[in-house]
Amino acid sequence: MRLRARFVAGLSATALLLAGCASGGSSDGGSEGSASDGAASQDVCESAEGDGPKIGLAYDVGGVGDFSFNDSAYAGLTQAVKELDATCAEAEAGAGESDADREQRLRDLADAGYTAIVGVGFVYSVAVYNVAPEYPDTYFGIIDGFNPTKSQKDLPNVANIGFAANEGSFLVGAAAALTTKTDHVGFLGGVDGPLIQAFEAGYVAGVEEVNPDIEIDSQYLSQDDPVKGFENPAGGKTAATGMYDNGADVVYHAAGKSGLGLFDAVEAAGKGNWAIGVDSDQYLTADPAQQPFILTSMIKRVDTGVFEFAKGVDEGQPPSGYVTYDLASGGVDYATSGDFLSAEIISQIDDYKQQIIDGTIKVPAETTS
Amino acid sequence: MTALRRGVLALAAPVLAFVVAAVVTSVVLLGTGDSPAEFWQVLLTVPAGRNIVNMVNFAAILYLSGLAAAIGFRMNLFNIGVEGQYRVATFAGALFAGQAFLPGALNTVASVLVAMAAGAAWAGIAGVLRVTRGVSEVISTIMLNAIALSLVAYLLRRVGNRIGQTIETDEIPSNAWVPGFSLVPGETAELYGLALLAVVAGVGFAVVLNRTRFGFELRATGYSESAAIASGVDVKRMVLYSMLLSGAVAGLIGMPELFGASHAYGSTIQTGIGFTGIAVALLGRNTPLGIAVGALIFAYLAQQASPLGITAGISPEIILVTQGVVVLSVVIAYEVVSRYRSRLEQSAVAAALEAERRHEEVAA
């Protein structure tokens, strides 16, 4: 009997663990926030019947509903449906995928007849470069992508759509430095890796350009786990609350859906504290109670990247190699929604913006540590 | 009981479990407003050659993970740390192989051994804690998972090279790669060469478990620790050894992919396999063949779910519900069937006794 009891206890422990895994996984695409958006996104692709490009969008973990990176890609898709008469399909990733799984998703899309396929997120780089040679008449774009091959030879049907996130982050860094009353600001990153470090590096450079004496707290939510990094509003809230408690009064995030936790934290911290959004203009999608706290957002025009890629394919001039969207081309920018930035601060930021475009200010893309 | 009835009963539990899982999944789909018909249509499509290859590859990896978990489970030792052991081991193996200390195939063999040793060492920490300090292995392995992930990520940044947006260890020289082989004729996708490790490990597990003293002591400890002690089994030693063995097998999980496809440990390594392995072991009731079936089922479901979003507009995450329900209902179904079976046995024995008594009465 004791044995049975122990066995059952063990089983239930394991079952709990599994339940934990499952719920962790389902929050990727199935949380309430995304449910309505998911339905809406199906509508765009379900109701789209044009003779324009056939676009396949393959999301990374998170998918539509992060009010940030993935939603921005979705906005580009919506624009393509409207303006190019495109038809489309979307596929989302599960947690803990291998490159083989991602290749499978791309092949599914290509086999289903989609000719302009966008992998939303750099994790698709290896998979796209493996799959693309098999489908010479299908065009692949990778947001934040890179060429993972040793030869570094470009494929004619692959475009790496990159963004100078460091330049945009510089501007919101300047905005943070010009706004802080405590001379103390924060940065909240998702997964600690080269991609997000570019945001941090630009932000830090922007803050220090204004006032090198400002203290900057930097924290990443995970070393390597995208679910913990980008899918973790609770963790984001804890980390951000710590920063506000520690004296920071402006915090910028580059953490996807985890950033929603930052907005909860700033609301709780109360007046005089600010949050800075990322990728999309997050003031526009925020809860009305949180809007008064969203100082600005670093806008990364993933939507433009997706739209222009589809347009290029449609016009028979598909982009290939590296395509970079920077400040000069309007691919990154900062938002002024909410009018929290004074005219004086805006003119200062615009001044920096001009200097970056001119090349007088060189924004680092890597952290110094 | 007749052989026929025995066979029907043996099949009853898994069949029952799948019926329950199918019903629950369909109800969930109805609840979220999706069409169960479309779901089953996608799921039951006959997979193409390429998908079959992917399925078998993934099943081999899951099998190793399930086996690692099962070794502990067989003696009531809950090694929840397979994920951490797999990450530490794969990193160590990749790091060693990338340095190319040895030529060609020697490098491959040595690296696999390094990975096994690293996995065993990491699991061994929990084993030592359990044996010397009585720390529950469930708690310590969960903690060690968290430590493993951070440690590997930290070390990767120390020694890795930046490739685009990722960080990877030095690439393994091509003479140490293990070529794949064709599984489905005319299909370019190949089975990982080291997927065969799953077969080797499975046969090894079966032999050790059923044909050696170690296996006997392992099972005996699992059935009853006090009885095992009474019959002279050194339980502490068994705990330590089986943790080491479990960790060593966990070290194999990453090898097929490492030497067959990625050729380096990168920050985009597949996560979560160690946890899925626990479910696979449960589904397979910790037997070598059962785990193989469990791994194939999980791999089939994962692979078939992939086009759900594209063709049916259903989130592929639903498959996690199916997998979870399968595991739970298998456990319940086996319990139900085994109770039914023992009742049958009881009534059979009672009937036999009754017949004997009557016989005696007649004789008297």
Residues A127-186: pLDDT tens digits? 999 999 999 999 999 999 999 887 888 899 999 999 999 999 999 999 999 999 999 999
d(CA A308, CA A324): 12
Specify whether the CB–CB gap between A51 and A243 falls below 8 A: no
Range of the domain at A270: 165-299+339-358
Query: Which backbone phi and psi does A325 adopt, to 5 degrees?
Result: -100, 120
Judged by CB atoms closer than 8 Å, whether chains meet at A98 and B327 is answered as no
In the predicted structure, residue A247 carries a pLDDT above the cut 50: yes
| A177 and A145 belong to one structural domain | no
Count of beta carbons in the 10 Å neighbourhood of residue B179: 9
Quote the number of domains for chain A.
2
Assigned domain for B280 exists: yes
Flag whether residue A25 sits within 8 Å of chain B, measured between CB atoms. yes
d(CA B64, CA B70): 10
Structure tokens, A216: 């900057």
| A98 and A113 belong to one structural domain | yes
Structure tokens, A119: 């992998």
| A210 and A350 belong to one structural domain | yes
d(CA A186, CA A336): 20
| A141 and A221 belong to one structural domain | no
Quote the number of domains for chain B.
1
In the predicted structure, residue A27 carries a pLDDT above the cut 60: no
Per-residue pLDDT at B173? 93
A214 to each of A181, A182, B185, how far by Cα in Å? 10, 8, 65
| A172 and A273 belong to one structural domain | yes
Per-residue pLDDT at A25? 34
For every residue of A162-219, DSSP letters joined together read EE-HHHHHHHHHHHHHHH-SSSEEEEEEEE-SHHHHHHHHHHHHHHHHH-TT-EEEEE
Picking from A95, A101, A150, the nearest residue to B306 by CB comes out as A101
* B171 chain-A contacts, CB cut-off 8 A: 150
| A278 and A350 belong to one structural domain | yes
Find residues 262-321 of chain B whose CB sits inside 8 Å of chain A.
262, 267-273, 275-276, 278-279, 282, 302-303, 306-307, 309-311, 313, 315-317, 319-321
Assigned domain for A44 exists: yes
CATH code assigned at A120: 3.40.50.2300
In the predicted structure, residue A42 carries a pLDDT above the cut 60: no
In Å, how far from its chain's centre is CA A210?
26
* A108 chain-B contacts, CB cut-off 8 A: 306-307, 310-311
Give me the mean pLDDT over the A72-76 stretch: 92
Report the gap between the CA of B166 and the closest CA in chain A (Å).
7
Judged by CB atoms closer than 8 Å, whether chains meet at A148 and B163 is answered as yes
Structure tokens, B3: 């052989």
For every residue of B302-324, DSSP letters joined together read HHHHTTIIIII---TTHHHHHHH
Assigned domain for A369 exists: no
Please name which of B20, B60, B18 lies closest in space to residue B273, comparing C-alpha atoms.
Answer: B60
Assigned domain for A24 exists: no
Residues of chain B with pLDDT under 50: none
Assigned domain for B248 exists: yes
In the predicted structure, residue A312 carries a pLDDT above the cut 60: yes
Assigned domain for B197 exists: yes
| A281 and A347 belong to one structural domain | yes
Find residues 130-159 of chain B whose CB sits inside 8 Å of chain A.
138, 149-150, 152-154, 156-157
In the predicted structure, residue A9 carries a pLDDT above the cut 60: no
Flag whether residue A83 sits within 8 Å of chain B, measured between CB atoms. no
Report the gap between the CA of B156 and the closest CA in chain A (Å).
10
Q: Residue A256: left (phi > 0), alpha (psi -120 to 50), or beta?
A: left
d(CA A363, CA A165): 10
Please name which of A45, A367, A60, A325 lies closest in space to residue A200, comparing C-alpha atoms.
Answer: A367
* SS3 call for A158: strand
| A123 and A172 belong to one structural domain | no
* B162 chain-A contacts, CB cut-off 8 A: 194
Per-residue pLDDT at A36? 36
In the predicted structure, residue A124 carries a pLDDT above the cut 50: yes
| A102 and A172 belong to one structural domain | no
Which residue type occupies A208? E
Assigned domain for B296 exists: no
ipTM reported for the complex surpasses 0.85: no
Per-residue pLDDT at A43? 59
Per-residue pLDDT at A24? 36
Range of the domain at B255: 45-288
CATH code assigned at B94: 1.10.3470
pTM, to two decimals: 0.84
Assigned domain for B73 exists: yes
Which of B167, B317, B319, B332 best tests the A interface by mutation, with the highest count of A CBs <10 A?
A: B317
Assigned domain for B329 exists: no
Average pLDDT, chain B: 90
Judged by CB atoms closer than 8 Å, whether chains meet at A42 and B313 is answered as yes
Specify whether the CB–CB gap between B249 and B274 falls below 8 A: no
Query: Which backbone phi and psi does A52 adopt, to 5 degrees?
Result: -80, -160
Q: Residue A248: left (phi > 0), alpha (psi -120 to 50), or beta?
A: beta
Picking from B166, B261, B271, the nearest residue to A225 by CB comes out as B271
d(CA A184, CA A180): 7
Count of beta carbons in the 10 Å neighbourhood of residue A268: 13
Q: Which residues contact A365 (CB under 8 A, 6 or more apart)?
A: A164, A166, A198, A201, A202
Assigned domain for B301 exists: no
Assigned domain for B233 exists: yes
Picking from A17, A97, A223, the nearest residue to B150 by CB comes out as A223
Flag whether residue A149 sits within 8 Å of chain B, measured between CB atoms. no
Picking from B165, B278, B309, the nearest residue to A193 by CB comes out as B165
pLDDT category of residue A369 using cuts at 50, 70 and 90: low
Q: Which residues contact B182 (CB under 8 A, 6 or more apart)?
A: B190, B191
Tell how many helices (H) and how many strands (E) occur in chain A. 13, 12
- Contact pairs from chain A to chain B, CB under 8 Å: 146
In the predicted structure, residue A7 carries a pLDDT above the cut 50: no
Assigned domain for A41 exists: yes
**A1-10, A59-68, B151-160, B303-312: the lowest-pLDDT one:** A1-10
Give me the mean pLDDT over the A253-260 stretch: 93
| A347 and A210 belong to one structural domain | yes
Query: Which backbone phi and psi does B86 adopt, to 5 degrees?
Result: -65, -40
d(CA B31, CA A165): 41
Specify whether the CB–CB gap between B237 and B59 falls below 8 A: no
Q: Which residues contact A122 (CB under 8 A, 6 or more apart)?
A: A142, A143, A144, A145, A146, A195, B164, B165, B166
Assigned domain for A344 exists: yes
* A28 chain-B contacts, CB cut-off 8 A: 317
Instruction: Quote the crossing angle between the two packed helices B137-159 and B104-133, to the nearest 10°.
Output: 140
Assigned domain for A226 exists: yes
Assigned domain for A1 exists: no
Specify whether the CB–CB gap between A273 and A244 falls below 8 A: yes
| A34 and A155 belong to one structural domain | yes
d(CA A269, CA A249): 9
d(CA B173, CA B137): 38
B94 to each of A269, A270, B173, B329, B355, how far by Cα in Å? 45, 49, 11, 39, 69
Q: Which one has a higher pLDDT value, B185 or A214?
A: A214
Report the gap between the CA of B117 and the closest CA in chain A (Å).
24
Picking from B272, B309, B319, the nearest residue to A90 by CB comes out as B309
Give me the mean pLDDT over the A183-205 stretch: 94
Per-residue pLDDT at B138? 93
Specify whether the CB–CB gap between A3 and B223 falls below 8 A: yes
Which of A151, A196, A224, A228 best tests the B interface by mutation, with the highest count of B CBs <10 A?
A: A224
Assigned domain for A25 exists: no
| Strand positions, DSSP E, B184-330 | 190-191
